[in-house]
């Protein structure tokens, strides 16, 4: 996703929640200036942990912050291979960690990984999927 899109999503959600950048950082336990520096273009990316914390503060999923699906009238082509790979990642994690989950929750996790990985040359972003599943499943 182009960084300008992500910046715009964050700005809109901050405005909707009536939050300043500094207050969002404090509420999320995010390092002072991390989000501000990203929005000002001083840093190019946000860490996975920062995206997750910011999404929690803004009341959305991490994928919402990085997804292009937010644009009205924008339909992205379906990439079955990425979704199936994401689903297999979730299944492997569940099996390895002996977790029980509802189907809807498995699909939601796979969808988060799919959306994050969408522009990743037709394959799942390994680093994100491992981090995301550990973060979500080990709580």
> What's the token pair of residue 128?
């994100």
pLDDT at residue 2, as a whole number: 56
| pLDDT digits 0-9 by tens, 15-61 | 999 999 999 999 999 988 999 999 998 988 888 889 889 999 998 88
| Superfamily of domain 3-66, CATH level 4 | lambda repressor-like DNA-binding domains (1.10.260.40)
| pLDDT digits 0-9 by tens, 52-75 | 899 999 988 887 887 655 444 445
Domain spans of the chain?
Answer: 3-66, 80-137
Please give the model's pTM, rounded to 2 decimal places.
0.56
Compute the residue count for the chain.
Answer: 139
What is the three-class DSSP state of 42?
coil
Alpha helices (H) along 19-102:
21-28, 34-39, 48-58, 62-66, 80-96
* Contact residues for 3 (Cβ-Cβ < 8 A; gap 6+): 38, 44, 45
Is the C-alpha dihedral spanning 67, 73, 74, 76 positive or negative? positive
| pLDDT digits 0-9 by tens, 116-131 | 887 776 789 888 889 8
Separation CA 101–CA 135 (nearest Å)? 15
């Amino acid at each position: 996703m182009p960084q300008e899109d992500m910046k715009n999503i964050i700005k809109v959600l901050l405005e909707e929640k009536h939050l300043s950048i500094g207050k969002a950082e404090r509420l999320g336990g995010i390092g002072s200036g991390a989000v501000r520096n990203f929005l000002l273009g001083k840093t190019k990316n946000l860490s996975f942990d920062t995206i997750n914390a910011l999404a929690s503060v803004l009341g959305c999923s991490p994928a919402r912050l990085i997804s292009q699906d937010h644009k009205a009238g924008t339909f992205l082509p379906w990439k079955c291979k990425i979704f199936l790979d994401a689903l297999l990642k979730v299944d492997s994690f569940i099996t390895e960690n002996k977790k029980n989950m509802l189907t809807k929750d498995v699909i939601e996790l796979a969808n988060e990984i799919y959306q994050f990985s969408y522009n990743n040359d037709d394959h799942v972003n390994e680093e994100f999927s491992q981090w995301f599943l550990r973060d979500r499943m080990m709580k």
